[in-house]
Amino acid sequence: MNSNLVSRRSLVSAAALLSVAPGLALAQSWPSKPVRLVVAGPAGASADLVARLISEPLSRELGQPVIVDNKPGAAGAIAIGDLLQSPRDGHTLLVGVNSLVSEIPHIVKLRWDMFKEIRPVAELARSGLVFVANPSVPANNLKEFIAYAKANPGKLNYASYSPGTLSHVLGLLLNQAAGIQLMHVGYKGSSPALTDVMGNHVPLMFDGVATSLPLIKAGKIKAFAVSSPKRIPQLPDVPTFHELGYPQLDALAWMGLWTTPDVPAPVQARVREATLKVLSDKALAAKMLDTGFDIGLPRSVDDLNKGLKADYDRVGGVLQSINFKPE
């Protein structure tokens, strides 16, 4: 073989090794200090519950403390800004719902392109939303409620935990599918919205299972249907929208672990490997279920990104139909 060709190939191989060597070295030493989970939500909210469930087993797996750091506000933008301003070495990760990419850009004018700025590492947990009502609403099931809503067009309000999110969009889809006229009232989070539902100021809401479940069990609100494709074990008597004849309302929200795309690939792979190992524990899955979540599926990063794009397009289409404009 030509000696010059061999020499050129050797140089190319050496250059390739040098280009990945820093990332490999970092992956081998990572984590070299505590890992911080920036949580896109306040204490007690869904993202916080999930982050605290995984933090201890993830710490054992990584051999370093894993610290939960809540950064609520601005529809997740404060938490995202914290992640983007942190060193891109994998020691700062984000825990947040898929809506950070699929919904929030439709709601708030962000200075970032979310599909380029953050990248899912793993799906931690998933759950549908539940359609809940104040106990005084004169209906015992969805069929009775829709009949009541048709008899009172434009007189019934429903809350969402934030305008433009799935909590808002599902109400719009129910209006279209059932031929009713629920009026939307947007809130800044589940807690204030649920407080008003319990007080009958806004009698209806589409909410996450984790935050509504304790109130449903306590009889402070009642549930008509869930948006998940199958009934959830925590509410076995509550039917799905699909089985009630409204497949348009099939929807799942998932909580993810996120990083930035420029964190070295070997570090991202190590984070994902450790996270999936933690999620495979049956005891953790049981704790998730008690909280109101199913354990996340081990979907590939490519599959997660494809799902985000599909959800982004779906939500955008619904919001465009009502001329919704971002703030």
What is the pLDDT tens value at each position of the chain, 327 positions in all?
A: 555 554 555 555 555 555 555 555 656 789 999 999 999 988 888 889 999 999 999 999 999 999 999 998 777 888 999 999 999 999 999 999 998 898 888 777 778 888 999 999 999 999 999 999 999 999 999 999 999 999 999 999 999 988 778 888 899 999 999 999 999 998 878 889 999 999 999 999 999 998 899 999 999 999 999 999 899 888 999 999 999 999 999 998 899 999 999 999 999 999 999 999 999 999 999 999 988 899 999 999 999 999 999 988 988 888 777 777 665
CB under 8 Å to 251, separation ≥6 — which residues? Answer: 128, 129, 166, 170, 227, 228
Within this chain, do residues 266 and 243 fall inside the same structural domain, yes or no?
no
Domain that holds residue 74: 33-126+252-321
Within this chain, do residues 134 and 167 fall inside the same structural domain, yes or no?
yes
Rounded Cα–Cα distance for residues 83 and 258 (Å)? 9
Last residue of a domain, one of 219, 249, 279: 249
How many other CB atoms sit within 10 Å of the CB of residue 281? 14
Positive or negative CA dihedral for 152, 153, 155, 157? positive
Q: Are strands 92-97 and 35-39 parallel, antiparallel or unpaired?
A: parallel
Rounded Cα–Cα distance for residues 96 and 105 (Å)? 14
Is the residue at 12 inside a domain? no
Last residue of a domain, one of 249, 276, 304: 249
